[in-house]
Amino acid sequence: MERELREGMEPKQEEEKEERLGNNNVMEMNEKENEIEQSKVGIMRALVEREDPSAKDVDDLMIRRFLRARFVVYSLDKICSRMPRGEEKFLCIGDLEGWGYSNSDIRGYLAALSILQDCFPERLGKLIIVHVPYIFMTAWKMVYPFIDSKTKKKIIFVENKKLKSTLLSDIEESQLPAAYGGQLPLDVDDLMIRRFLRARFVVYSLDKICSRMPRGEEKFLCIGDLEGWGYSNSDIRGYLAALSILQDCFPERLGKLIIVHVPYIFMTAWKMVYPFIDSKTKKKIIFVENKKLKSTLLSDIEESQLPAAYGGQLPLVPIQDT
């Protein structure tokens, strides 16, 4: 009898073990995301305060709210762009593991809802909210009146004991993240995080360049320095993302891209990237030998505007310090 009871309990214990492991993975991801966000808040604060010293009065919560709103737009754009032809709606899992008053932001939730309802109408098929702490419902009561009637019908709160069965009623097991009992790995590795931060930095840099161009100037020249490049720090998908941002979001802004200090082995990676560059952009990219570096750059850039590192007179200052 004891053996039968022990055998009957094993599957349940195994399920509980898998659920604990899944929850631990989600909590680790949340901690990593918080660390990344705090780092970005520090960078954003430094940049804003350099532009306007009075911005010291802006608290971290406002900066986080701005960054989160930008991330919501980025995420929804990414989701919509990857939906198969004919698919108009997506399902979203909102995980509140680790939520508390110390990290809540009512105005941030309202901003995210506003973006979803006003900028992506009818895209949300269903929002399933899981791991809901009891105290969250107090905050929810403040947000709920601002949700439109159609969106309210799409929001479902799920108890932990019914989590897997509820999710599997809408999501195939192969597409359900492992943290929720499915088979899809949910792993945000360091490379993915670096790729995301690089893409954000590309957008920030191009925005910065365009905002500082004199009236009447429409194009800029860019120097791409590959000093120290190697396979260990290469990222083909990252390069493609940067090219996509440049070609799709800043059309016709690039006047010329001069690539310098090019190691021979870079050309192997370049062959993989080159087919994805549009024909107009290809004509604007120039590779320069080290022995012709200064003369080539000076043919396009005045010596007073050429960085000293390339033989000019201009001090090279990091973009975040400008």
pLDDT tens for each residue of 293-315: 999 999 999 999 999 989 999 88
Does the residue 317 lie in any domain? no
Please say which residue of 159, 189, 219 terminates a domain. Answer: 189
Is residue 40 predicted with pLDDT exceeding 60? no
Does the residue 315 lie in any domain? no
Query: For position 38, what pLDDT does the model report?
Result: 57
Contact (Cβ atoms closer than 8 angstroms) between residue 153 and residue 123: no
Side chain identity, residue 87:
E
C-alpha to C-alpha distance for 130 and 6, rounded to whole angstroms: 31
The residue count of the chain comes to 322
Does the residue 170 lie in any domain? yes
Write out the residue range of the structural domain in which residue 56 sits.
2-189
Same-domain status, 6 and 82: yes
In the beta sheet, which residues pair with residue 80? none
Per-residue pLDDT reduced to its tens digit, 17-38: 545 544 555 455 455 555 555 5
Same-domain status, 42 and 185: yes
Query: CB neighbours of 70 closer than 8 A, spacing ≥ 6?
Result: none
Query: CB neighbours of 154 closer than 8 A, spacing ≥ 6?
Result: 124, 125, 126, 127
184 confidence band (pLDDT: 50, 70, 90): confident
Same-domain status, 179 and 211: no
pLDDT top residue among 49 and 303: 303
Same-domain status, 164 and 210: no
Q: How many Cβ atoms from other residues are within 10 Å of residue 63's Cβ?
A: 19
Same-domain status, 115 and 76: yes
User: Residue 178: which region, alpha, beta or left (left: phi > 0; alpha: psi -120 to 50)?
Assistant: alpha
C-alpha to C-alpha distance for 114 and 245, rounded to whole angstroms: 25
Does the residue 201 lie in any domain? yes
Query: CB neighbours of 295 closer than 8 A, spacing ≥ 6?
Result: none
Query: For position 3, what pLDDT does the model report?
Result: 45
Side chain identity, residue 225:
D
Q: Helix, strand or coil for residue 228? A: coil
Q: CATH number, domain at 203?
A: 3.40.525.10
C-alpha to C-alpha distance for 91 and 125, rounded to whole angstroms: 5
Same-domain status, 201 and 261: yes
Query: For position 261, what pLDDT does the model report?
Result: 93
Is residue 289 predicted with pLDDT exceeding 80? yes
287 confidence band (pLDDT: 50, 70, 90): very high
Count of domains in the chain?
A: 2
Confidence (pTM) = 0.45
DSSP string, 226-285: -TT--GGG--HHHHHHHHHHHHHHSTTTEEEEEEES--TTHHHHHHHHGGGS-HHHHTTE
Does the residue 91 lie in any domain? yes
CA distances from 286 to 27, 256, 259, 293 (A): 46, 8, 6, 11
Task: Look up residue 69 and give its two tokens.
Answer: 């709103």
C-alpha to C-alpha distance for 106 and 140, rounded to whole angstroms: 9
Residues 244, 250, 252, 255, CA torsion sign? negative
Please say which residue of 174, 189, 204 terminates a domain. Answer: 189
Same-domain status, 148 and 228: no
Taking residues 65-88, what's their average pLDDT? 77
pLDDT top residue among 2 and 51: 51
Contact (Cβ atoms closer than 8 angstroms) between residue 134 and residue 172: no
